[in-house]
Chain A
Amino acid sequence: MKNKTQKALKVKRSRGEQIFSVFNYIFMVGIIILCIYPVWYVAMASFSDSNLLTMHTGPLLWPEGFNLNAYTKVFKNPMILKGYMNTMFLLLVGVPINIMMTALGAYFLSRKRVLFQKPIMIAIMFTMFFSGGMIPFYLNLKDLHLTNTLWGLIIPFMINTYNMVIMKTSFQSIPDSLIEAAQIDGASHWKILFSVVLPLSKAIIAVMVLYYGVSTWNSWFWASAILRERQLYPLQVILREILLSNDVSSMSSGAAATDAESIAMSIKYATIMVATVPILCVYPFLQKYFTKGTMVGAVKE
C-alpha cells in the first residue's frame, strides 16, 4: 500500500525534489561513514605495528605494518581473561533472573480484574520518575551486604521497569480466551505463565535477553562503586583501567619506556576490539528484535 503511493510519488517528482533526493543520499553516506569510521580506525590501529602507528598521523585506512602482537598481549593478560569470566557469570546467571522477575511482574500487571493492581502499578511507575539517589542506593547495598560481591550487580538490578512495561504490553496482546480456558481447566497462574504465556512470547523474551544482555555487558558504574577486589571486576571495569587510567604498564613490562608507550596505543585498541566485537557481531542479526522491543514500548495505552 505504502510502496504503491511512493511509486506514484516518484513519477511526479519535481526537479527540486530530485535535487533533494540526491543530497539526501549523499548525506546518508556521510552519516554512515561518521558512524563506522571510528570503529574502523580502532580496528585498523589494533592490527598495526605500534611504532609505525605512533609515527602515523591522520586517518588510517589500512593497518600500518600488519601484525597481531597487540592481541597476543591482550589475550595473555590474566585480568582481561578474569574480566571476561566475571562478565560471563553476570550474563549467564543475571540475565535468566532478569527475565524471570520481569516476566512475573509483567504477568501480574497484564491481568484483568485485579483489585490492587492499579496501586501497585502506580507505585512501580513512580520509581521510574523519582528515586532516593545514588548515595542512599549505595548505602542500602552496603546495608544488605551486597557490596564486594557479584551478586550486588545482579540482585539490585533484577528488574528494569521500562523493560517490564514493554513485556506487560506484549503480554496484554495474548488473547484472554486462551488464559481463561486454562483457568477453567484449573491451571494456576504460575502454570499459565509458564505453559501458556511464555511459550507464546518468544519474540519478546528474545528482546528482553538482548536488552538485559547488552546492558549487563556494557555496565560498569556500580561494579566500580561496590567492588573492592580486582578479582571480581567485570570486563568493562578492567577496560576502564586500561583505556582511561593509562594503566598499560602491567602488560608491557620489560620494554623500554618509550617503547612501552607505543605498545600502549595498539594494546588499547586491541582491548577495545576484544570487548566490543562480540556485541558488534551479534547486533545486526538481532536488530529486528531490538527494533521490535522499542516499538512495543512506544505503544501508548
Chain B
Amino acid sequence: MKEFKKKVRTDGGMKEFRKKVRTDWMRNRSLYILVLPVVIFYILFNYKPIYGAIIAFQDYTPRLGISGSEWVGLANFKRFFSDIYFGRLMRNTLLLSVYDIIFGFPAPIILALLLNEIHNRFFKNVTQTITYLPHFISMIVVCGMLTDFSLSTGLFNDIIVFFGGERHPLLQDPSLYRMIYILSDIWQQVGWGTIIYLSALSSVDSQLYEAAQIDGANKWKQTLNVTLPGIAPTIITMFILKIGKLMSMGYEKTILLYNPSTYETADIISSYVYRIGLLEQDWSYSTAIGLFNSVINFVLLIVANKLSKKYSETSLW
C-alpha cells in the first residue's frame, strides 16, 4: 500500500494536468464506466452516512430532515459527557477491549506456534479443521448455546457442581459477564485466527533454523530468536488493526448476551448507541455518541500505525 504515498503530481501546472486527464479519459474511459456502480455504492452507503452523521450537531427530527433541523453545536456531546452512564460505558468498553487484547490477541498466536510443532500432518490437518468449526457457527447460535449452558440448570452449572461449586445463573452475574464474553470469543475465533499466523510461520526461512541449530539453540531459543521475529510483521499488522477497533467491540454479541441485570459490566458504547438510537429513537444523541466513538477509533488507528512505522517499519499504509 506504499503506492498511496505517491501523490498525483499536479505541479506541472493546470494545463498539463488537464492534458493528463484527457489522455487518461481516452485510455481508460470504459474502465471508469465499469467502476461507476462501485463508486455510487460507496457514495450512497458509506459517504452519505458519514455526511448524515452531522445530525450529531443538530436536534434532528425525521420530519424536518437534515436541512430543516435546528443546529445545536456540541450540545449532544456535552450531554454524553455528563450522562450518568458515561463513566460506566467508557470503563466497560475499554475493559472489554483490554481483556480482549490481553487474552484474545495472543491466543491464536500461541495456538499457531504449538500447531507448528505438530509434525504429524494428518493430525495437524484434523486439528485445524476442527478448530475452525466454531468460526462458522452463527453469533445467534453461539449466544443461544451460551445462554442455555449458563442457566442454573445448564451444562456449565453441572460442571461447576461437579467441581464442588454452587448453582447460579451465570449470565445474570455482572462479575462473570466479561469472562464469559472473552472466553466464548476465544473459543469461537482462536482456530480461525491461526490461519494467518500459520501462513506467516510457513514462510519463515528454514535455513535460519538450521543455522540456529548449528549454533546450539534449543527449540525454545529457536522460537524466541527465529520464529517470533519471522512472524513479527504479521503480529504487528494484526495488532494495529486490533488497536483501531479498540473501542468498537462487537455490539452484536453484547446485544444478544446482556440483560438489565448485567448492564453494569456489559453495556458498552455501541450497545448504548443501539438502545438510545434504534430502540428509543433519540437520533441526534445516539449519532453523537457513535461519532465520538468512530473518531476515537480512527485516531487510535493512526497513532498505532505511526508508532509501528517508527519502531518496526511495519505499517498499514
| A, B assembled together | yes
In contact, A130 and B131 (Cβ under 8 angstroms): no
Instruction: Please count the residue pairs between chain A and chain B whose beta carbons lie under 8 angstroms apart in the complex.
Output: 266
Nearest A residue to B250 via CB reads A221
Q: Across the interface, which residues of B come within 8 angstroms of A287, CB to CB?
A: 128-129, 132
Q: Across the interface, which residues of A come within 8 angstroms of B234, CB to CB?
A: 298
In contact, A136 and B140 (Cβ under 8 angstroms): no
In contact, A134 and B219 (Cβ under 8 angstroms): no
> Residue A256 at the B interface, CB < 8 A?
no
In contact, A21 and B117 (Cβ under 8 angstroms): yes
Q: Across the interface, which residues of A come within 8 angstroms of B290, CB to CB?
A: 132-136
> Residue A291 at the B interface, CB < 8 A?
yes
Instruction: State whether A12 and B133 are in contact (beta carbons under 8 Å apart), knowing that A127-B42, A240-B140 are contacts in the complex.
Output: no
Q: Which of A76-123 contact B (CB under 8 A)?
A: 101, 104-105, 107-108, 111, 113-116, 118-123
Instruction: State whether A268 and B148 are in contact (beta carbons under 8 Å apart), knowing that A24-B118, A28-B123, A31-B127 are contacts in the complex.
Output: yes
> Residue B106 at the A interface, CB < 8 A?
no
Q: Which of B138-173 contact A (CB under 8 A)?
A: 138-141, 143-145, 147-149, 153, 155, 158-159, 161-162
How far apart sit A80 and B32, CA to CA, in the bound complex (Å)? 44
Q: How far is the CB of A241 from chain B (nearest CB, A)?
A: 10
In contact, A101 and B38 (Cβ under 8 angstroms): yes
- The size bracket of the interface on B is 35 or more
In contact, B38 and A115 (Cβ under 8 angstroms): no
Nearest A residue to B147 via CB reads A244
In contact, B49 and A131 (Cβ under 8 angstroms): yes
> Residue B50 at the A interface, CB < 8 A?
yes
Q: Across the interface, which residues of B come within 8 angstroms of A268, CB to CB?
A: 144, 148
> Residue B287 at the A interface, CB < 8 A?
yes
How far apart sit A130 and B298, CA to CA, in the bound complex (Å)? 6
Nearest A residue to B52 via CB reads A136
Q: Which of A1-39 contact B (CB under 8 A)?
A: 1-2, 5-6, 9-10, 12, 14, 16-17, 20-21, 24-25, 27-28, 31-32, 34-36, 38-39
Dominant SS among interface residues on chain B: helix
How far apart sit A175 and B213, CA to CA, in the bound complex (Å)? 40
In contact, B42 and A272 (Cβ under 8 angstroms): no
Chain A, residues 277-301, CB within 8 Å of chain B (1/0): the string is 0011001100100110011001011
In contact, B35 and A105 (Cβ under 8 angstroms): yes
> Residue B307 at the A interface, CB < 8 A?
no
Question: Could you say which of B45, B130, B287 has the most chain A C-beta atoms within 10 Å of its C-beta?
Answer: B45
In contact, A111 and B31 (Cβ under 8 angstroms): yes
Q: Which of B79-87, B174-182, B272-280 contacts A (4 or more CB under 8 A)?
A: B272-280
Q: Across the interface, which residues of A come within 8 angstroms of B37, CB to CB?
A: 101, 104
> Residue B63 at the A interface, CB < 8 A?
no
Instruction: State whether A10 and B30 are in contact (beta carbons under 8 Å apart), knowing that A139-B62, A283-B136 are contacts in the complex.
Output: no
Dominant SS among interface residues on chain A: helix
Instruction: State whether A35 and B244 are in contact (beta carbons under 8 Å apart), knowing that A135-B278, A268-B144, A301-B3 are contacts in the complex.
Output: no
How far apart sit A20 and B220, CA to CA, in the bound complex (Å)? 10
Q: How far is the CB of B169 from chain A (nearest CB, A)?
A: 14
How far apart sit A115 and B10, CA to CA, in the bound complex (Å)? 11
8 Å CB contact of A114 from B24, B129, B133, B237: B24
Q: Across the interface, which residues of B come within 8 angstroms of A199, CB to CB?
A: none
8 Å CB contact of B145 from A42, A122, A130: A42
In contact, A124 and B42 (Cβ under 8 angstroms): yes
Q: How far is the CB of A251 from chain B (nearest CB, A)?
A: 15
Besides A24-B114, A218-B139, 11 new A-B residue pairs in contact (Cβ under 8 A), listed by A number: A114-B28, A115-B8, A132-B51, A133-B291, A137-B49, A139-B52, A159-B42, A221-B255, A239-B141, A268-B144, A275-B138
A-B contact pairs, 19 of them (CB 8 A): A5-B210, A16-B218, A17-B219, A28-B115, A108-B38, A114-B31, A129-B298, A134-B270, A134-B273, A135-B283, A136-B50, A136-B52, A138-B278, A159-B38, A218-B138, A279-B137, A280-B137, A284-B129, A295-B195
User: Which B residues contact A (CB, under 8 angstroms)?
Assistant: 1-4, 6, 8, 20-21, 24, 27-28, 30-32, 34-35, 37-39, 41-42, 44-53, 55, 62, 111, 114-115, 117-119, 123, 126-134, 136-141, 143-145, 147-149, 153, 155, 158-159, 161-162, 187, 191, 195-196, 199-200, 202, 206, 209-210, 213, 218-219, 233-234, 237, 244, 251-252, 255-256, 270, 273-274, 277-278, 283, 286-287, 290-291, 293-294, 297-298, 301, 317
Closest 4 CB pairs of A and B: A133-B290, A243-B144, A132-B49, A136-B52
User: Which A residues contact B (CB, under 8 angstroms)?
Assistant: 1-2, 5-6, 9-10, 12, 14, 16-17, 20-21, 24-25, 27-28, 31-32, 34-36, 38-39, 41-42, 54, 57-59, 101, 104-105, 107-108, 111, 113-116, 118-125, 127, 129-140, 142, 144, 155-156, 158-159, 188-190, 193, 214, 217-218, 220-221, 225, 236, 239-240, 243-244, 265, 268, 272, 275-276, 279-280, 283-284, 287, 290-291, 294-295, 298, 300-301
